[in-house]
Chain A
């Protein structure tokens, strides 16, 4: 633990320094409706704690969670399908890439029209943004399994499904964790964008409402909260990963 603390010390000092610069700069500017100081933001979070923590944070987390779950299932399915057959790969790969060229913020208002003001329009945004990195990364992981290892197993009499279980899954596991760690923050951003564009609750929606009231600290408060949640989630995933993945790459 001590080691970890020491390793993080420079980062902590640097962040603290930035916050002080921000604080002083914002005080000098004295226009808190555009640039609130960090202390004002913290105060705001405290003032609004009830609405933020009991209504809006859970709403955003629901969208993020459901979106992430769908992305993981979809991403895994696509990756496995593309790995299992050349034809499927050739058919799907360009399509998967094409979904990433959609300017999501531009057409997200349409999602509201299609899927309504409920959570589904936001989930679609989150899924569209996250399933791609999961698909591609897990696919690369499955590919990273060396052909020679699979062949060796075949000479022992293993069938395809057994080769998949014994070799492909362990090879893809570290990639999978990287993918999910990447996907968590993106999914949160996706949910927030969805809410920003049209919703009745959620941190994205809340931030926008504060914007229309020219409440700078109120705009920042939910955003700070989102970053904090993303960092905590990634840290938790890193702990789980340490437990599951005992090796990484070869040599």
Chain B
């Protein structure tokens, strides 16, 4: 569905291409995690995909069509939840609908309430964001991302700011959601276990500048449980990934 073809990108303040002739493909309906050490350029790949950054060369396509000709083709959930503190949770969640042509107030409200109850925040539409806990905020932010109505979702470390236990429950929650919505998901994390638990494929950033993403399929069937992480082959996979990342740290 999503394809990068020889994409290069350079930040103005740097003298090298942080993304260097990168090519990769994402299949429709799959969950893909990008893992790599901090500062390696993961978020940059997202910002190229959602059009906030323009590639220096190469092409990014969705179903064969260049993203420059497309609008509103992906739902981007940034690293911080970025709920607007002056709006209610409901108004926050329906925000993407404001840019989708004429939709009545009633309908927007209905859709916001629907999606909020999907993420387990049924009575929160009229609350203010600061009245929610960290995990609830992330779920509200996810609900807002869902209302972009895009098939492709870009989730940038949605759980990295959460405490350990909340994070576990959010991961399980996301597994459920994915079964329900059948979206194509790109997910950034630097937590190897999280990547294994959630993904069909893991894309490893092995070095910066990024010229290649090493694709590793996770041999685990659905529905998944945390127990499966204790399987031998999975433990080996985990060690292999950690070694790959660690190799980069020492360079």
Q: Which residues of A come within 8 Å of B, CB atoms?
A: 146, 148-149, 151-158, 162, 166-167, 170-171, 246-247, 250-251
Is B7 in the interface zone, CB < 8 Å from A? no
Which residues on the A side are within 8 Å of B85 (C-beta)? 247, 250
B72 within 8 A of partner (CB): yes
Q: Is the CB–CB distance between A152 and B99 below 8 Å?
A: no
6 A-B residue pairs with Cβ-Cβ distance under 8 Å, sorted by A, are: A148-B82, A149-B84, A155-B74, A162-B98, A167-B84, A246-B128
The 8 Å CB contact of B76, one of A149, A152, A166, A171, is: A152
* Shortest distance from the beta carbon of B124 to any chain A beta carbon, whole Å: 17
Bound CA span A154–B76, Å: 10
Find out whether the CB atom of B72 lies under 8 angstroms from the CB atom of A157: yes
8 Å CB contact of B51 from A152, A155, A170, A246: A155
- Is B52 close to A, CB under 8 A? yes
Do residues B78 and A170 form an inter-chain contact, with CB atoms below 8 A? no
B43 CB to nearest A CB, Å: 11
Residues of B within 8 A of A (CB): 50-52, 71-72, 74, 76, 78, 80, 82, 84-87, 95-96, 98-100, 128, 130, 148
Q: How far is the CA of A151 from the CA of B46 in the complex (A)?
A: 13
Residues of chain B lying within 8 A (CB to CB) of residue A246: 86, 128
A152 to B52, alpha carbons, bound, how many Å?
Answer: 9
Return chain A residues, CB-CB under 8 Å to B130.
Answer: 247, 251
Q: Are A152 and B86 in contact (CB under 8 A)?
A: no
Nearest residue in A to B87 (C-beta to C-beta)? A170
CB pair B99–A157 under 8 Å, yes or no, is yes
Chain B binding surface SS class: loop
Other than the given A156-B72, A156-B96, A246-B86, 11 more pairs (CB < 8 A) read: A151-B52, A152-B78, A154-B52, A155-B51, A157-B71, A157-B99, A157-B100, A158-B98, A162-B98, A170-B86, A250-B85
Q: In whole angstroms, what is the CA distance A116 to B86 when docked? A: 47
Indicate if the CB atoms of A155 and B71 lie closer than 8 Å: no
Residue of B nearest to A146 (CB): B82
Chain B residues, CB < 8 A from A171: 86
Least Cβ–Cβ distance between A177 and chain B, in angstroms = 14
**CB contact between B50 and one of A155, A158, A166, A250 (< 8 Å): that residue:** A155
Contacts of B52 in A (CB 8 A): 151, 154-155
A3 to B128, CA, bound (A): 26
Task: Tell me whether B84 and A170 are in contact (CB under 8 A).
Answer: yes
When the two chains form their complex, are residues B86 and A156 in contact, meaning their CB atoms are under 8 A apart? no
Contacts of B95 in A (CB 8 A): 153, 156, 166
Query: Which residue on B lies nearest to A171, using beta carbons?
Result: B86
Name the residue in B51, B84, B87 with the highest tally of chain A Cβ atoms < 10 Å from its Cβ. Answer: B84
Which chain A residues border B82 with CB–CB below 8 Å? Answer: 146, 148-149, 152
Q: What chain B residues lie within 8 Å of A148 (beta carbons)?
A: 78, 80, 82
